[in-house]
């Protein structure tokens, strides 16, 4: 039985699904950006360590 005191309607399955798809896409994009930054940092670190070994 629905709560008569509740003023806002319950979201539909479609609305919930759309929200989850949107959040999933945002996470995918965020993960991709994180991966790109990680790869750049990894590359810079490898170059630094290589040049550091060459100096010694």
Number of domain units in the chain? 1
Position 9 scores a pLDDT of: 86
pLDDT above 90 coverage of the chain, percent: 68
Q: Which pLDDT band holds residue 4 (cuts at 50, 70, 90)?
A: low
- Over residues 12-28, the mean pLDDT reads 97
Q: What is the pTM of this model?
A: 0.62
Residue 1 lies in a domain: no
DSSP code string of 12-26:
PHHHHHHHHHHHHHH
| CA separation for the pair 38, 32 (Å, rounded) | 10
Residue 26 lies in a domain: yes
Q: By residue range, what is the domain housing residue 25? A: 19-55
Position 52 scores a pLDDT of: 67
Residue 6 lies in a domain: no
pLDDT tens per residue, range 24-49: 999 999 999 999 999 999 999 999 98
């Amino acid at each position: 039985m629905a709560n008569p005191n509740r003023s806002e309607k319950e979201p539909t399955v479609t609305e919930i699904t759309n929200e989850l798809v949107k959040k999933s896409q945002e996470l995918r994009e965020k993960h991709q950006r994180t991966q790109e930054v990680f790869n750049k940092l990894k590359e810079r670190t490898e170059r630094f360590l290589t040049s550091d070994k060459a100096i010694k």
